[in-house]
């Protein structure tokens, strides 16, 4: 319980390889459960890149904000820096669940920072991933090849993890995620 007697919300980490459908799944989950709060990440990516709604900042500003303690978690991948604004702690303290796209390599640290962490591990067959990345159009061919070749980081033991196969229709993945997160409502 938090100070006011409210049961804290959970951080729900959506992880998996590039192109698997993490952003699509998060958007669909929030549409079905308006009480879910989607974390808006801070990323050193060009603002016009498209895809998720994120706060675009320069590498220098990112480094300054990280040094100033602005992020609950931050990491680097694909030549970019990503941050989860520390305000997510207030969301959780209000009793709301929050959804965030995290790096698989950050899950050990995330479990220490967010005690109620629940991981949705999204998977899809390799040929499905390649087709989706090409279809999304945010990265060029070389970057797509790099993303597909990236080895999957190992998960630390002891996490609450739900495997979600998103090789088929998105709706099936959404139902599987909601059943795992809110079993009492199914």
Among ligand PRP, ligand ADP, none, what binds residue 135 when CB lies within 5 to 8 Å by partner kind? ligand ADP
Residue 44 in contact with ligand PRP, rule: CB under 6 A: no
User: Which residue's CB is nearer to ligand ADP, number 81 or number 166?
Assistant: 166
Residue 77 in contact with ligand PRP, rule: CB under 6 A: yes
Q: Is 167 annotated for ligand binding?
A: no
Residues 6+ apart with CB under 8 A from 6: 93, 94, 95
Report, in Å, the least distance between residue 41 CB and ligand PRP.
8
Q: Is 22 annotated for ligand binding?
A: yes
Residues 6+ apart with CB under 8 A from 58: 44
Q: Which is nearest to 72 in space by CA: 113, 38, 36, 122?
A: 113
Report, in Å, the least distance between residue 22 CB and ligand ADP.
3
From 82, 83, 92, 177, residue interacting with ligand PRP (rule: CB under 6 A): 82
d(CA 104, CA 49): 22
Classify residue 156 by its DSSP letter.
P
Q: Which of residues 122-181 bind ligand PRP (CB under 6 A)?
A: 150, 153
* Binding site feature residues for ATP: 16-23
């Amino acid at each position: 319980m938090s100070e006011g007697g409210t049961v804290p919300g959970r951080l729900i980490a959506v992880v998996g390889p590039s192109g698997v459908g993490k952003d699509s799944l998060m958007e669909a989950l929030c549409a079905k459960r308006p009480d879910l709060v989607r974390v808006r990440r801070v990323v050193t990516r060009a603002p016009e890149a498209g895809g998720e709604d994120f706060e675009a900042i320069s590498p220098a500003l990112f480094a300054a904000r990280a040094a100033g303690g602005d992020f609950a978690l931050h990491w680097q991948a694909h030549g970019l820096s990503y941050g989860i604004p520390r305000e997510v702690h207030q969301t959780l303290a209000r009793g709301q669940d929050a959804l965030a796209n995290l790096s698989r390599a950050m899950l050990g640290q995330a479990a220490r920072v967010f005690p109620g962490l629940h991981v949705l591990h999204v998977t899809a067959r390799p040929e499905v991933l390649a087709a989706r990345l090409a279809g999304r159009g945010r990265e060029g061919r070389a970057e797509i090849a790099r993303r597909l070749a990236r080895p999957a980081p190992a998960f630390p033991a002891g996490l609450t993890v739900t495997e979600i196969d998103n090789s088929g229709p998105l709706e099936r993945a959404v139902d599987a995620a909601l059943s795992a997160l809110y079993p009492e409502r199914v």
